[in-house]
Copies of this chain bind each other. A is one copy, B any other.
């Protein structure tokens, strides 16, 4: 049987078996594997057990392995084949975000259903429907179809699925280091990213880094009455808003000295490609109720979102925030501030530059305390690596549209860990859409994303098997 005929049989099998694929996804979605809340530790363990049992049916030796936190699933091809087949490490995560605020969900988050989107699309609704249970199951189901049709997988495979991605993978990274010999492969595959749009497949070829800091400004040694002290006593909210309010100039540039050091402009040919993508405010911002790009005025919106660094205050609190009013000058006020970094920016230097910026602006009576939440450098992947080229061809075949290579504004810190600890480049393929509400109430995954996602991976596995040897 020709490779093409064999692939067609695999794809036909996926279509025929799709209702069962969906039922298997629902079984996984019903497990309340919220990693952030210790009350759900047993559910996390149950998700790992379930996945190990399921993945074992693909002909892999699968087991649940402990970490210092929630366990990880590791599954491997039984014995390395002699033929020098490519060996991929597939990574996913079974843990999900908390479901608060629960009252904004239209139905219980762990009772998944297929529903009708107002615009006619069929959608799978539930916590984890996209991030990352739905996405990782596209890969598992693609493997299942290959196994069913051909009796084996077309490439050598190691699957690792962790349970703490949503809480920063802090136990998984040491696990990776400890098991690095056992997790060796030729390259990594991750399904945790998005399409360009609902019709256009995409591979993510860069990821922004992240520096997440917390700053607390302290002034008086206790809360004060603003009638008695107002006008004479320093107010830490005044100091904090003045400092944070100065982070951007009138052109949307971040004002921290040295912030843009090392940041390069896009090569002209890539900028030209991105211009052609025509990511307009109308298209990207209108669905969220906005119309004006908020970043550097002299940059395209797509640059602001992916190739340029950014800063957001993610939270701020100080003084009285309940109902009604209280005439208080609080003793302290604090904010959570994060920076999205691009290639050339050093997270350590950026964090220091931010803290220096704050400290330099403190009036004499105020002090600042800082807290370090997380840090990851930006990642720029090799556009010309062979597995990426193979995946790109396969995606274009499945979707009938040229695959877009684009930079993501988000951070997937594990990609840097794979590079630095295991020496692996990663191919980032995913089928998420901008309106999936990940991390939010009413998370969904398009039924089409799930179905064509499985078909896409089936094609990618075939293409990887045919990849020219190095």
Contacts and interface: CB of A to CB of B under 8 A. Distances in A.
B312 A438 contact: no
Contacts of A301: 232
A375 to B, nearest CB: 11
A341 to B, nearest CB: 11
Interface centre among A167, A243, A310, A315 (most CB of B within 10 A): A315
Interface string A365-382: 100000001100000000
Nearest to A364: B292
A105 interface: no
Interface in A238-252: 238, 240-248
B328 A288 contact: no
A229 B435 CA distance: 12
A2 interface: no
Given A242-B245, A313-B319, A325-B374, A305 B222 contact: no
Contacts of A285: 232-233, 365
Interface centre among A314, A364, A365 (most CB of B within 10 A): A314
Contacts of A324: 36, 167, 373
- Work out how many copies of this chain go into the complex: 2
Interface string A218-238: 011111111111111111011
Interface in A82-97: none
A290 interface: yes
A411 interface: yes
Contact of A231 (B288, B305, B330): B305
Chain A interface size range: 35 or more
Contacts of A234: 290, 292, 294
A212 interface: yes
Given A313-B241, A408-B227, A232 B294 contact: yes
B241 A363 contact: no
A103 interface: no
29 contacts: A36-B324, A212-B325, A214-B325, A220-B290, A221-B288, A222-B289, A227-B410, A230-B305, A230-B312, A231-B304, A231-B305, A231-B310, A231-B340, A232-B409, A234-B290, A235-B294, A237-B313, A237-B315, A238-B247, A241-B316, A285-B365, A290-B365, A292-B364, A313-B319, A314-B327, A316-B321, A316-B333, A325-B373, A325-B374
Interface of A: 36, 167, 194, 208, 210, 212, 214, 219-235, 237-238, 240-248, 284-285, 288-295, 301, 304-305, 308-321, 324-330, 333, 335-336, 338, 340, 363-365, 373-374, 408-411, 434, 437-440
Among all A-B residue pairs, the 5 with the closest Cβ atoms: A245-B245, A227-B410, A231-B310, A221-B289, A315-B319
